[in-house]
A and B are shown apart, each in its own frame.
Chain A
Protein backbone atom coordinates (compact mmCIF):
# COMPACT_ATOMS: atom_id res chain seq x y z
CA UNK A 1 0.00 0.00 0.00
CA UNK A 2 2.74 2.46 0.97
CA UNK A 3 4.41 2.93 -2.43
CA UNK A 4 1.11 3.83 -4.07
CA UNK A 5 0.33 6.37 -1.38
CA UNK A 6 3.77 7.91 -1.90
CA UNK A 7 3.34 8.20 -5.66
CA UNK A 8 -0.29 9.29 -5.64
CA UNK A 9 0.09 13.08 -5.07
CA UNK A 10 2.70 13.42 -7.84
CA UNK A 11 0.76 11.10 -10.16
CA UNK A 12 -2.49 13.00 -9.65
CA UNK A 13 -1.00 16.39 -10.57
CA UNK A 14 0.96 14.92 -13.46
CA UNK A 15 -2.06 13.06 -14.83
CA UNK A 16 -4.35 16.09 -14.71
CA UNK A 17 -2.01 18.83 -15.95
CA UNK A 18 0.29 16.95 -18.34
CA UNK A 19 -1.12 13.56 -19.42
CA UNK A 20 -4.72 14.65 -19.90
CA UNK A 21 -3.72 17.71 -22.02
CA UNK A 22 -1.61 15.47 -24.29
CA UNK A 23 -4.70 13.44 -25.22
CA UNK A 24 -6.97 16.47 -25.18
CA UNK A 25 -4.72 18.12 -27.76
CA UNK A 26 -5.34 15.33 -30.28
CA UNK A 27 -9.05 15.51 -29.52
CA UNK A 28 -9.28 19.28 -30.15
CA UNK A 29 -7.36 19.00 -33.40
CA UNK A 30 -10.26 17.18 -35.05
CA UNK A 31 -12.69 20.04 -34.44
CA UNK A 32 -13.32 23.59 -35.50
CA UNK A 33 -12.91 24.61 -31.89
CA UNK A 34 -14.58 27.68 -30.42
CA UNK A 35 -13.31 28.99 -27.13
CA UNK A 36 -16.61 30.51 -26.11
CA UNK A 37 -18.62 28.35 -23.75
CA UNK A 38 -21.79 26.94 -25.24
CA UNK A 39 -20.68 27.49 -28.83
CA UNK A 40 -20.91 24.50 -31.12
CA UNK A 41 -17.69 22.85 -32.23
CA UNK A 42 -18.21 21.14 -35.59
CA UNK A 43 -16.24 17.94 -36.16
CA UNK A 44 -13.78 18.35 -39.03
CA UNK A 45 -12.03 15.00 -39.12
CA UNK A 46 -8.58 15.45 -40.61
CA UNK A 47 -9.32 18.81 -42.23
CA UNK A 48 -7.11 20.76 -39.82
CA UNK A 49 -4.23 18.43 -40.64
CA UNK A 50 -4.62 18.63 -44.41
CA UNK A 51 -4.92 22.41 -44.15
CA UNK A 52 -1.70 22.55 -42.12
CA UNK A 53 0.21 20.43 -44.61
CA UNK A 54 -0.79 22.83 -47.41
CA UNK A 55 -0.21 26.02 -45.43
CA UNK A 56 2.87 27.81 -46.84
CA UNK A 57 3.58 29.42 -43.46
CA UNK A 58 3.67 25.96 -41.84
CA UNK A 59 6.28 25.04 -44.45
CA UNK A 60 8.42 28.10 -43.68
CA UNK A 61 7.99 27.52 -39.96
CA UNK A 62 8.96 23.84 -40.26
CA UNK A 63 12.02 24.78 -42.30
CA UNK A 64 13.06 27.44 -39.75
CA UNK A 65 12.50 25.09 -36.81
CA UNK A 66 14.55 22.29 -38.39
CA UNK A 67 17.28 24.76 -39.33
CA UNK A 68 17.33 26.08 -35.77
CA UNK A 69 17.84 22.57 -34.39
CA UNK A 70 20.43 21.62 -37.02
CA UNK A 71 22.47 24.75 -36.35
CA UNK A 72 22.16 25.35 -32.63
CA UNK A 73 22.33 21.78 -31.26
CA UNK A 74 25.75 20.79 -32.68
CA UNK A 75 27.09 24.27 -31.93
CA UNK A 76 26.03 24.07 -28.28
CA UNK A 77 27.44 20.56 -27.90
CA UNK A 78 30.79 21.33 -29.50
CA UNK A 79 31.35 24.58 -27.65
CA UNK A 80 30.06 23.11 -24.39
CA UNK A 81 32.33 20.08 -24.64
CA UNK A 82 35.33 22.21 -25.55
CA UNK A 83 34.76 24.52 -22.60
CA UNK A 84 34.25 21.53 -20.29
CA UNK A 85 37.50 19.94 -21.52
CA UNK A 86 39.36 23.17 -20.78
CA UNK A 87 37.90 23.45 -17.29
CA UNK A 88 37.76 19.80 -16.27
CA UNK A 89 41.14 20.03 -14.59
CA UNK A 90 42.44 22.36 -11.95
CA UNK A 91 42.97 25.91 -13.12
CA UNK A 92 43.36 29.18 -11.21
CA UNK A 93 39.91 30.47 -10.19
CA UNK A 94 38.24 27.58 -12.02
CA UNK A 95 35.09 27.95 -9.94
CA UNK A 96 34.68 31.54 -11.07
CA UNK A 97 35.02 30.73 -14.79
CA UNK A 98 32.59 27.85 -14.44
CA UNK A 99 30.06 30.04 -12.66
CA UNK A 100 30.34 32.79 -15.29
CA UNK A 101 29.94 30.37 -18.19
CA UNK A 102 26.74 29.08 -16.58
CA UNK A 103 25.29 32.57 -16.00
CA UNK A 104 23.38 32.77 -19.33
CA UNK A 105 21.52 29.57 -18.40
CA UNK A 106 20.08 31.08 -15.24
CA UNK A 107 19.25 34.39 -16.92
CA UNK A 108 15.65 34.67 -18.04
CA UNK A 109 14.75 34.12 -21.73
CA UNK A 110 12.74 37.33 -21.72
CA UNK A 111 15.71 39.36 -20.45
CA UNK A 112 18.16 37.66 -22.82
CA UNK A 113 15.85 38.34 -25.77
CA UNK A 114 15.74 42.04 -24.95
CA UNK A 115 19.47 42.29 -24.30
CA UNK A 116 20.14 40.88 -27.78
CA UNK A 117 17.38 43.02 -29.28
CA UNK A 118 19.31 45.99 -27.90
CA UNK A 119 22.69 44.70 -29.10
CA UNK A 120 21.33 44.13 -32.62
CA UNK A 121 19.07 47.17 -32.85
CA UNK A 122 19.56 49.53 -35.76
CA UNK A 123 19.79 52.74 -33.74
CA UNK A 124 23.04 52.78 -31.81
CA UNK A 125 23.16 49.03 -31.22
CA UNK A 126 26.37 47.34 -30.11
CA UNK A 127 26.68 45.06 -33.16
CA UNK A 128 26.48 47.98 -35.60
CA UNK A 129 28.78 50.00 -33.35
CA UNK A 130 31.46 47.30 -33.44
CA UNK A 131 31.08 46.84 -37.20
CA UNK A 132 31.35 50.60 -37.74
CA UNK A 133 34.56 50.57 -35.73
CA UNK A 134 36.09 47.92 -38.01
CA UNK A 135 34.65 49.30 -41.23
CA UNK A 136 35.73 52.85 -40.48
CA UNK A 137 32.35 54.26 -41.49
CA UNK A 138 28.84 54.21 -40.06
CA UNK A 139 27.20 50.82 -40.48
CA UNK A 140 23.48 50.60 -39.83
CA UNK A 141 22.11 47.15 -40.49
CA UNK A 142 18.53 46.57 -39.41
CA UNK A 143 19.30 43.04 -38.20
CA UNK A 144 15.87 42.06 -36.98
CA UNK A 145 13.99 43.39 -40.01
CA UNK A 146 15.63 41.10 -42.59
CA UNK A 147 15.00 37.37 -42.80
CA UNK A 148 18.51 35.97 -42.68
CA UNK A 149 20.12 38.44 -40.32
CA UNK A 150 17.10 38.01 -38.03
CA UNK A 151 17.40 34.22 -38.17
CA UNK A 152 21.11 34.49 -37.43
CA UNK A 153 20.40 36.60 -34.35
CA UNK A 154 17.80 34.02 -33.22
CA UNK A 155 20.43 31.26 -33.54
CA UNK A 156 23.09 33.30 -31.76
CA UNK A 157 20.76 33.89 -28.82
CA UNK A 158 19.91 30.18 -28.65
CA UNK A 159 23.54 29.09 -28.75
CA UNK A 160 24.76 31.75 -26.32
CA UNK A 161 22.02 30.94 -23.80
CA UNK A 162 22.37 27.16 -24.11
CA UNK A 163 26.12 26.51 -24.09
CA UNK A 164 26.37 26.74 -20.30
CA UNK A 165 23.95 23.85 -19.84
CA UNK A 166 25.85 21.48 -22.15
CA UNK A 167 29.05 22.69 -20.50
CA UNK A 168 27.87 21.69 -17.01
CA UNK A 169 26.54 18.33 -18.22
CA UNK A 170 29.84 17.54 -19.96
CA UNK A 171 31.80 18.71 -16.94
CA UNK A 172 29.90 16.18 -14.83
CA UNK A 173 30.42 13.57 -17.54
CA UNK A 174 34.18 14.16 -17.67
CA UNK A 175 34.28 13.75 -13.88
CA UNK A 176 33.34 10.12 -14.39
CA UNK A 177 36.02 9.29 -16.97
CA UNK A 178 38.26 6.64 -15.39
CA UNK A 179 41.46 8.60 -15.03
CA UNK A 180 43.61 5.57 -14.27
CA UNK A 181 42.93 4.30 -17.78
CA UNK A 182 43.70 7.70 -19.31
CA UNK A 183 46.93 7.80 -17.35
CA UNK A 184 47.82 4.24 -18.33
CA UNK A 185 47.23 5.09 -21.99
CA UNK A 186 49.41 8.14 -21.63
CA UNK A 187 52.22 6.06 -20.12
CA UNK A 188 51.94 3.74 -23.11
CA UNK A 189 52.56 6.76 -25.33
CA UNK A 190 49.09 7.23 -26.84
CA UNK A 191 48.46 10.66 -28.36
CA UNK A 192 45.86 12.95 -26.77
CA UNK A 193 43.65 12.65 -29.83
CA UNK A 194 43.73 8.88 -29.56
CA UNK A 195 43.00 8.97 -25.85
CA UNK A 196 39.96 11.09 -26.55
CA UNK A 197 38.68 8.85 -29.30
CA UNK A 198 39.29 5.59 -27.47
CA UNK A 199 38.63 6.43 -23.83
CA UNK A 200 37.10 9.82 -23.15
CA UNK A 201 34.40 9.94 -25.85
CA UNK A 202 33.15 6.36 -25.18
CA UNK A 203 33.08 7.11 -21.44
CA UNK A 204 30.95 10.24 -21.86
CA UNK A 205 28.73 8.78 -24.58
CA UNK A 206 25.71 8.44 -22.24
CA UNK A 207 26.05 12.14 -21.40
CA UNK A 208 26.33 13.01 -25.08
CA UNK A 209 23.17 11.05 -25.88
CA UNK A 210 21.31 12.68 -23.01
CA UNK A 211 22.45 16.20 -23.95
CA UNK A 212 21.72 15.62 -27.63
CA UNK A 213 18.21 14.30 -27.06
CA UNK A 214 17.26 17.05 -24.63
CA UNK A 215 18.72 19.79 -26.85
CA UNK A 216 16.77 18.52 -29.86
CA UNK A 217 13.57 18.50 -27.81
CA UNK A 218 14.38 21.96 -26.46
CA UNK A 219 15.30 23.26 -29.92
CA UNK A 220 12.00 22.24 -31.48
CA UNK A 221 10.14 24.35 -28.94
CA UNK A 222 12.08 27.54 -29.71
CA UNK A 223 9.65 30.33 -28.94
CA UNK A 224 10.49 33.20 -26.63
CA UNK A 225 13.27 34.92 -28.56
CA UNK A 226 11.37 34.66 -31.84
CA UNK A 227 8.14 35.90 -30.25
CA UNK A 228 9.83 38.87 -28.57
CA UNK A 229 12.51 39.81 -31.12
CA UNK A 230 10.84 39.41 -34.51
CA UNK A 231 7.30 38.26 -33.76
CA UNK A 232 7.80 35.85 -36.66
CA UNK A 233 8.26 38.72 -39.10
CA UNK A 234 9.10 40.16 -41.52
CA UNK A 235 6.13 38.59 -43.35
CA UNK A 236 6.24 35.33 -41.36
CA UNK A 237 9.74 34.63 -42.67
CA UNK A 238 11.26 33.96 -39.23
CA UNK A 239 8.17 32.15 -37.96
CA UNK A 240 8.91 28.85 -36.19
CA UNK A 241 6.29 26.16 -35.65
CA UNK A 242 5.49 27.04 -32.11
CA UNK A 243 5.20 30.81 -32.61
CA UNK A 244 2.88 30.12 -35.54
CA UNK A 245 0.73 27.64 -33.60
CA UNK A 246 0.57 30.10 -30.72
CA UNK A 247 -0.47 32.92 -33.00
CA UNK A 248 -3.16 30.76 -34.60
CA UNK A 249 -4.55 29.86 -31.16
CA UNK A 250 -4.35 33.06 -29.18
CA UNK A 251 -4.46 35.77 -31.86
CA UNK A 252 -6.74 34.19 -34.47
CA UNK A 253 -8.57 31.87 -32.02
CA UNK A 254 -8.11 28.93 -34.38
CA UNK A 255 -7.69 26.47 -31.52
CA UNK A 256 -8.39 23.35 -33.56
CA UNK A 257 -5.93 24.34 -36.27
CA UNK A 258 -3.25 25.28 -33.73
CA UNK A 259 -3.81 22.01 -31.86
CA UNK A 260 -3.37 20.10 -35.13
CA UNK A 261 0.02 21.78 -35.72
CA UNK A 262 1.04 21.13 -32.11
CA UNK A 263 -0.10 17.49 -32.29
CA UNK A 264 1.96 16.86 -35.40
CA UNK A 265 4.96 18.45 -33.71
CA UNK A 266 4.47 16.33 -30.59
CA UNK A 267 4.30 13.09 -32.59
CA UNK A 268 7.36 13.99 -34.66
CA UNK A 269 9.45 15.09 -31.68
CA UNK A 270 8.47 12.06 -29.62
CA UNK A 271 9.28 9.75 -32.53
CA UNK A 272 12.59 11.53 -33.10
CA UNK A 273 13.57 11.22 -29.44
CA UNK A 274 12.80 7.51 -29.33
CA UNK A 275 14.67 6.97 -32.62
CA UNK A 276 17.68 8.98 -31.40
CA UNK A 277 17.89 6.98 -28.18
CA UNK A 278 17.57 3.64 -29.99
CA UNK A 279 20.11 4.56 -32.63
CA UNK A 280 22.69 5.95 -30.24
CA UNK A 281 22.21 3.07 -27.78
CA UNK A 282 22.80 0.51 -30.49
CA UNK A 283 26.00 2.21 -31.60
CA UNK A 284 27.05 2.23 -28.00
CA UNK A 285 26.77 -1.52 -27.41
Chain B
Protein backbone atom coordinates (compact mmCIF):
# COMPACT_ATOMS: atom_id res chain seq x y z
CA UNK B 1 0.00 0.00 0.00
CA UNK B 2 1.25 3.45 -0.81
CA UNK B 3 1.94 4.70 2.65
CA UNK B 4 3.96 7.72 1.70
CA UNK B 5 3.18 10.46 4.08
CA UNK B 6 5.26 13.22 2.64
CA UNK B 7 3.75 16.25 1.05
CA UNK B 8 4.45 16.07 -2.67
CA UNK B 9 6.30 18.98 -4.16
CA UNK B 10 3.74 20.68 -6.35
CA UNK B 11 5.25 22.92 -8.95
CA UNK B 12 3.43 26.17 -9.33
CA UNK B 13 4.45 26.49 -12.96
CA UNK B 14 1.72 25.62 -15.44
CA UNK B 15 1.79 21.90 -16.11
CA UNK B 16 3.45 20.71 -19.28
CA UNK B 17 1.50 18.35 -21.46
CA UNK B 18 2.01 14.81 -20.29
CA UNK B 19 0.75 13.27 -23.50
CA UNK B 20 -0.16 9.66 -24.10
CA UNK B 21 1.77 7.26 -26.28
CA UNK B 22 2.72 9.66 -28.99
CA UNK B 23 -0.64 11.30 -29.38
CA UNK B 24 0.54 14.27 -27.40
CA UNK B 25 -1.05 17.43 -28.62
CA UNK B 26 -3.73 15.50 -30.44
CA UNK B 27 -6.31 17.40 -28.55
CA UNK B 28 -9.13 16.44 -30.89
CA UNK B 29 -8.43 12.72 -30.56
CA UNK B 30 -8.18 13.05 -26.80
CA UNK B 31 -11.41 15.03 -26.70
CA UNK B 32 -13.25 12.42 -28.78
CA UNK B 33 -11.95 9.63 -26.52
CA UNK B 34 -12.90 11.57 -23.39
CA UNK B 35 -16.43 12.07 -24.69
CA UNK B 36 -16.59 8.39 -25.60
CA UNK B 37 -15.58 7.35 -22.07
CA UNK B 38 -18.10 9.76 -20.57
CA UNK B 39 -20.83 8.46 -22.90
CA UNK B 40 -20.23 4.81 -22.02
CA UNK B 41 -20.26 5.74 -18.32
CA UNK B 42 -23.60 7.47 -18.58
CA UNK B 43 -25.36 5.47 -21.32
CA UNK B 44 -26.86 2.71 -19.10
CA UNK B 45 -28.09 5.29 -16.63
CA UNK B 46 -29.86 7.18 -19.42
CA UNK B 47 -32.11 4.15 -19.81
CA UNK B 48 -32.92 4.33 -16.13
CA UNK B 49 -33.85 7.99 -16.56
CA UNK B 50 -35.83 7.34 -19.74
CA UNK B 51 -37.77 4.36 -18.43
CA UNK B 52 -38.73 6.21 -15.29
CA UNK B 53 -40.79 8.54 -17.52
CA UNK B 54 -42.38 5.84 -19.70
CA UNK B 55 -45.79 4.23 -19.22
CA UNK B 56 -45.78 0.39 -18.96
CA UNK B 57 -47.21 -0.01 -22.48
CA UNK B 58 -44.11 1.65 -23.94
CA UNK B 59 -41.66 -0.19 -21.69
CA UNK B 60 -42.92 -3.54 -22.97
CA UNK B 61 -43.35 -2.55 -26.59
CA UNK B 62 -40.35 -4.73 -27.49
CA UNK B 63 -38.08 -2.04 -28.92
CA UNK B 64 -36.18 -0.03 -26.32
CA UNK B 65 -36.25 3.73 -26.89
CA UNK B 66 -34.13 6.36 -25.22
CA UNK B 67 -36.52 9.27 -25.63
CA UNK B 68 -39.93 8.58 -24.08
CA UNK B 69 -42.70 8.75 -26.70
CA UNK B 70 -45.48 9.28 -24.16
CA UNK B 71 -43.74 10.92 -21.20
CA UNK B 72 -45.47 10.53 -17.85
CA UNK B 73 -44.67 11.14 -14.21
CA UNK B 74 -47.05 8.39 -13.06
CA UNK B 75 -44.13 6.11 -12.14
CA UNK B 76 -42.81 8.69 -9.69
CA UNK B 77 -46.18 9.02 -8.03
CA UNK B 78 -46.45 5.24 -7.78
CA UNK B 79 -42.89 4.75 -6.49
CA UNK B 80 -43.26 7.43 -3.86
CA UNK B 81 -46.65 6.37 -2.52
CA UNK B 82 -46.26 2.58 -2.60
CA UNK B 83 -43.96 0.67 -0.27
CA UNK B 84 -43.52 3.61 2.15
CA UNK B 85 -40.74 4.89 -0.08
CA UNK B 86 -40.66 8.22 1.77
CA UNK B 87 -39.98 6.36 4.98
CA UNK B 88 -37.08 4.40 3.41
CA UNK B 89 -35.69 7.67 2.10
CA UNK B 90 -35.82 9.29 5.55
CA UNK B 91 -34.20 6.19 7.12
CA UNK B 92 -31.36 6.30 4.59
CA UNK B 93 -30.79 10.00 5.20
CA UNK B 94 -30.68 9.43 8.96
CA UNK B 95 -28.27 6.49 8.71
CA UNK B 96 -25.99 8.15 6.15
CA UNK B 97 -25.73 11.49 7.94
CA UNK B 98 -25.21 9.77 11.30
CA UNK B 99 -22.44 7.66 9.78
CA UNK B 100 -20.75 10.68 8.18
CA UNK B 101 -20.82 12.83 11.33
CA UNK B 102 -19.54 10.07 13.61
CA UNK B 103 -16.90 8.83 11.18
CA UNK B 104 -15.50 12.28 10.43
CA UNK B 105 -15.43 13.21 14.14
CA UNK B 106 -13.88 10.00 15.45
CA UNK B 107 -11.45 9.60 12.54
CA UNK B 108 -10.27 13.21 12.94
CA UNK B 109 -9.55 12.73 16.65
CA UNK B 110 -7.66 9.48 16.08
CA UNK B 111 -5.79 10.76 13.00
CA UNK B 112 -4.76 13.84 14.96
CA UNK B 113 -3.27 11.64 17.69
CA UNK B 114 -1.44 9.48 15.12
CA UNK B 115 -0.13 12.50 13.22
CA UNK B 116 0.91 14.77 16.07
CA UNK B 117 1.76 12.77 19.18
CA UNK B 118 4.55 10.37 20.04
CA UNK B 119 3.42 7.53 22.27
CA UNK B 120 4.19 3.85 22.85
CA UNK B 121 2.63 1.43 20.34
CA UNK B 122 1.63 4.26 18.03
CA UNK B 123 2.51 2.48 14.78
CA UNK B 124 1.20 -0.86 16.03
CA UNK B 125 -2.17 0.71 16.82
CA UNK B 126 -2.23 2.50 13.49
CA UNK B 127 -1.53 -0.68 11.54
CA UNK B 128 -4.11 -2.54 13.60
CA UNK B 129 -6.64 -0.10 12.16
CA UNK B 130 -5.28 -0.56 8.65
CA UNK B 131 -5.14 -4.35 8.81
CA UNK B 132 -8.88 -4.75 8.36
CA UNK B 133 -8.61 -3.03 4.97
CA UNK B 134 -7.07 -6.29 3.80
CA UNK B 135 -9.99 -8.37 5.09
CA UNK B 136 -13.12 -8.11 2.96
CA UNK B 137 -15.56 -6.27 5.22
CA UNK B 138 -18.75 -7.95 4.05
CA UNK B 139 -17.33 -11.31 5.09
CA UNK B 140 -17.95 -10.38 8.70
CA UNK B 141 -21.71 -10.28 8.30
CA UNK B 142 -22.23 -13.63 10.09
CA UNK B 143 -20.45 -12.77 13.38
CA UNK B 144 -21.78 -9.22 13.14
CA UNK B 145 -25.33 -10.55 12.88
CA UNK B 146 -24.82 -12.67 16.01
CA UNK B 147 -23.22 -9.73 17.83
CA UNK B 148 -26.03 -7.36 16.94
CA UNK B 149 -28.71 -9.81 18.01
CA UNK B 150 -26.96 -10.19 21.38
CA UNK B 151 -26.78 -6.39 21.74
CA UNK B 152 -30.48 -6.13 20.76
CA UNK B 153 -29.51 -3.99 17.78
CA UNK B 154 -31.33 -6.02 15.12
CA UNK B 155 -33.83 -3.72 13.36
CA UNK B 156 -32.02 -0.70 14.78
CA UNK B 157 -30.91 2.14 12.52
CA UNK B 158 -28.39 3.20 15.17
CA UNK B 159 -26.98 -0.31 15.08
CA UNK B 160 -26.45 0.06 11.33
CA UNK B 161 -24.67 3.37 11.92
CA UNK B 162 -22.24 1.75 14.38
CA UNK B 163 -21.31 -0.99 11.90
CA UNK B 164 -20.90 1.51 9.05
CA UNK B 165 -18.73 3.80 11.19
CA UNK B 166 -16.55 0.85 12.13
CA UNK B 167 -16.17 -0.09 8.45
CA UNK B 168 -15.31 3.42 7.34
CA UNK B 169 -12.87 4.35 10.13
CA UNK B 170 -9.69 2.65 8.80
CA UNK B 171 -9.58 4.33 5.40
CA UNK B 172 -10.67 7.67 6.89
CA UNK B 173 -7.99 7.60 9.59
CA UNK B 174 -5.39 6.62 7.00
CA UNK B 175 -6.29 9.47 4.67
CA UNK B 176 -6.63 12.11 7.41
CA UNK B 177 -3.38 11.16 9.12
CA UNK B 178 -1.42 11.70 5.90
CA UNK B 179 -3.13 15.01 5.37
CA UNK B 180 -2.65 16.25 8.95
CA UNK B 181 1.03 15.33 8.89
CA UNK B 182 1.58 17.51 5.87
CA UNK B 183 0.50 20.62 7.80
CA UNK B 184 3.63 22.46 9.00
CA UNK B 185 4.30 22.03 12.72
CA UNK B 186 5.39 25.65 13.13
CA UNK B 187 1.76 26.71 12.70
CA UNK B 188 0.75 24.45 15.54
CA UNK B 189 3.56 25.69 17.78
CA UNK B 190 2.54 29.30 17.36
CA UNK B 191 -0.94 28.22 18.40
CA UNK B 192 0.36 26.31 21.41
CA UNK B 193 2.46 29.29 22.52
CA UNK B 194 -0.76 31.22 22.90
CA UNK B 195 -1.89 28.53 25.30
CA UNK B 196 -4.25 26.59 23.02
CA UNK B 197 -5.05 23.01 24.03
CA UNK B 198 -5.15 19.99 21.71
CA UNK B 199 -8.85 20.28 20.95
CA UNK B 200 -8.42 23.93 20.03
CA UNK B 201 -5.50 23.13 17.74
CA UNK B 202 -7.59 20.46 16.02
CA UNK B 203 -10.79 22.47 15.57
CA UNK B 204 -9.32 25.91 14.90
CA UNK B 205 -6.16 25.05 12.97
CA UNK B 206 -5.95 21.51 11.61
CA UNK B 207 -9.59 21.06 10.58
CA UNK B 208 -9.95 24.32 8.64
CA UNK B 209 -6.73 23.54 6.75
CA UNK B 210 -7.90 20.01 5.99
CA UNK B 211 -11.20 20.75 4.27
CA UNK B 212 -10.24 18.83 1.08
CA UNK B 213 -9.43 15.67 3.04
CA UNK B 214 -12.45 16.02 5.32
CA UNK B 215 -14.74 16.54 2.31
CA UNK B 216 -13.24 13.48 0.58
CA UNK B 217 -13.78 11.34 3.68
CA UNK B 218 -17.32 12.67 4.07
CA UNK B 219 -18.16 11.91 0.45
CA UNK B 220 -16.78 8.36 0.50
CA UNK B 221 -18.49 7.66 3.81
CA UNK B 222 -21.83 9.08 2.73
CA UNK B 223 -21.86 7.00 -0.43
CA UNK B 224 -20.79 3.85 1.36
CA UNK B 225 -23.62 4.24 3.87
CA UNK B 226 -26.18 5.39 1.29
CA UNK B 227 -25.53 2.36 -0.96
CA UNK B 228 -24.89 -0.32 1.61
CA UNK B 229 -27.03 -3.34 0.85
CA UNK B 230 -25.93 -6.60 2.47
CA UNK B 231 -25.70 -5.53 6.10
CA UNK B 232 -28.95 -3.60 5.97
CA UNK B 233 -30.63 -6.55 4.23
CA UNK B 234 -29.46 -8.87 6.99
CA UNK B 235 -29.96 -6.73 10.08
CA UNK B 236 -33.23 -4.99 9.22
CA UNK B 237 -36.41 -7.04 9.05
CA UNK B 238 -39.10 -4.57 10.06
CA UNK B 239 -40.46 -2.86 6.91
CA UNK B 240 -40.60 0.55 8.63
CA UNK B 241 -36.84 0.43 9.35
CA UNK B 242 -35.72 -0.42 5.84
CA UNK B 243 -33.19 1.75 4.03
CA UNK B 244 -33.50 2.69 0.34
CA UNK B 245 -31.37 -0.09 -1.21
CA UNK B 246 -33.51 -2.70 0.55
CA UNK B 247 -36.68 -0.86 -0.38
CA UNK B 248 -35.63 -0.86 -4.04
CA UNK B 249 -34.55 -4.50 -4.01
CA UNK B 250 -37.86 -5.59 -2.54
CA UNK B 251 -39.72 -3.43 -5.01
CA UNK B 252 -38.76 -5.67 -7.89
CA UNK B 253 -39.65 -8.71 -5.81
CA UNK B 254 -43.16 -7.38 -5.40
CA UNK B 255 -43.75 -6.44 -9.05
CA UNK B 256 -41.36 -8.70 -10.97
CA UNK B 257 -40.58 -6.38 -13.88
CA UNK B 258 -42.17 -3.06 -13.01
CA UNK B 259 -39.20 -1.26 -14.54
CA UNK B 260 -40.91 2.14 -14.71
CA UNK B 261 -41.66 2.58 -10.99
CA UNK B 262 -38.41 0.82 -10.01
CA UNK B 263 -36.35 3.28 -12.04
CA UNK B 264 -38.41 6.23 -10.85
CA UNK B 265 -37.49 5.15 -7.31
CA UNK B 266 -33.88 4.69 -8.40
CA UNK B 267 -33.80 8.19 -9.84
CA UNK B 268 -34.99 9.64 -6.54
CA UNK B 269 -32.46 7.49 -4.65
CA UNK B 270 -29.61 8.75 -6.87
CA UNK B 271 -30.25 12.44 -6.22
CA UNK B 272 -28.53 12.67 -2.79
CA UNK B 273 -25.41 10.79 -4.01
CA UNK B 274 -25.10 13.16 -6.93
CA UNK B 275 -25.59 16.24 -4.74
CA UNK B 276 -22.92 15.07 -2.28
CA UNK B 277 -20.58 14.21 -5.15
CA UNK B 278 -21.02 17.58 -6.84
CA UNK B 279 -20.47 19.38 -3.52
CA UNK B 280 -17.31 17.40 -2.71
CA UNK B 281 -15.88 17.31 -6.21
CA UNK B 282 -13.91 20.54 -6.00
CA UNK B 283 -11.87 19.21 -3.06
CA UNK B 284 -11.89 15.60 -3.94
CA UNK B 285 -8.94 15.26 -6.36
CA UNK B 286 -6.80 17.44 -4.11
CA UNK B 287 -7.88 15.45 -1.07
CA UNK B 288 -6.72 12.21 -2.67
CA UNK B 289 -3.46 13.45 -4.14
CA UNK B 290 -2.33 15.14 -0.93
CA UNK B 291 -3.63 12.33 1.22
CA UNK B 292 -0.67 10.13 0.39
CA UNK B 293 -2.67 7.89 -1.93
CA UNK B 294 -0.41 8.50 -4.84
Interface residues of A (CB under 8 A from B): 2-4, 6-7, 9-11, 13-14, 16-22, 24-25, 28, 35, 82-83, 85-92, 94, 96-97, 99-112, 114-116, 118-119, 121, 123-126, 129, 160, 163-164, 168-169, 171-177, 179-180, 182-183, 191-193, 195-196, 200, 204, 206-207, 209-210, 213-214, 217-218, 220-221, 223-224, 228, 242, 245-246, 249-250, 255, 258-259, 262, 265-266, 269-270, 273-274, 277
Contacts and interface: CB of A to CB of B under 8 A. Distances in A.
6 A-B pairs with the lowest CB-CB distances in the bound complex, closest first: A206-B2, A17-B166, A21-B143, A24-B143, A100-B38, A3-B117
Looking at chain A's contact residues, the main secondary structure is helix
Nearest to A281: B1
B119 A111 contact: no
Contact of B22 (A2, A191, A266): A191
Contacts of A25: 139-140, 142-143
Interface stretch (B73-81, B188-196, B221-229): B221-229
B205 interface: no
A163 B37 CA distance: 10
A115 B47 contact: yes
Nearest to B246: A110
Given A191-B22, A213-B1, A18 B142 contact: no
A228 B16 CA distance: 46
Contacts of A246: 141, 230
11 contacts: A17-B166, A28-B146, A106-B273, A109-B227, A110-B229, A160-B40, A163-B41, A179-B18, A192-B20, A223-B230, A262-B140
A258 B122 CA distance: 35
Given A100-B42, A245-B139, 18 more contacts: A4-B119, A16-B147, A17-B167, A21-B144, A25-B143, A83-B34, A90-B15, A99-B281, A103-B274, A108-B226, A108-B245, A111-B48, A111-B248, A129-B64, A191-B22, A193-B21, A221-B139, A255-B146
A114 B262 contact: yes
A193 B30 CA distance: 17
B269 A111 contact: yes
Contacts of B119: 3-4
A127 to B, nearest CB: 9
B254 interface: no
Contacts of B278: 99
A161 to B, nearest CB: 10
A182, A204, A218 — which one has the most chain B CB atoms within 10 A of its CB?
A182
A3 B201 CA distance: 13
A96 B38 contact: yes
Contacts of A21: 140, 143-144, 147
B37 A116 contact: no
Contacts of B63: 124, 129
Contacts of B167: 17-18
B106 A224 contact: no
B112, B166, B277 — which one has the most chain A CB atoms within 10 A of its CB?
B166
B60, B167, B229 — which one has the most chain A CB atoms within 10 A of its CB?
B229
B273 to A, nearest CB: 5
Interface in B87-119: 106-107, 109-110, 112-114, 117, 119
Contacts of B69: none
Contact of B1 (A7, A179, A210): A210
Interface in B158-180: 162-163, 165-167, 169-170, 173
A117 to B, nearest CB: 8
B230 A22 contact: no
Contacts of A164: 41
A88 B113 CA distance: 35
Nearest to A128: B64
A269 B33 contact: no
A217 B229 CA distance: 18
A100 B114 CA distance: 36
A115 B17 contact: no
B51 A118 contact: yes
B34 A86 contact: yes
Nearest to A192: B22
Contact of A179 (B11, B143, B145, B293): B11
Contacts of A193: 21-22
Given A110-B229, A172-B285, A176-B8, A221 B113 contact: no
Contact of A106 (B17, B44, B146, B223): B223
B140 A6 contact: no
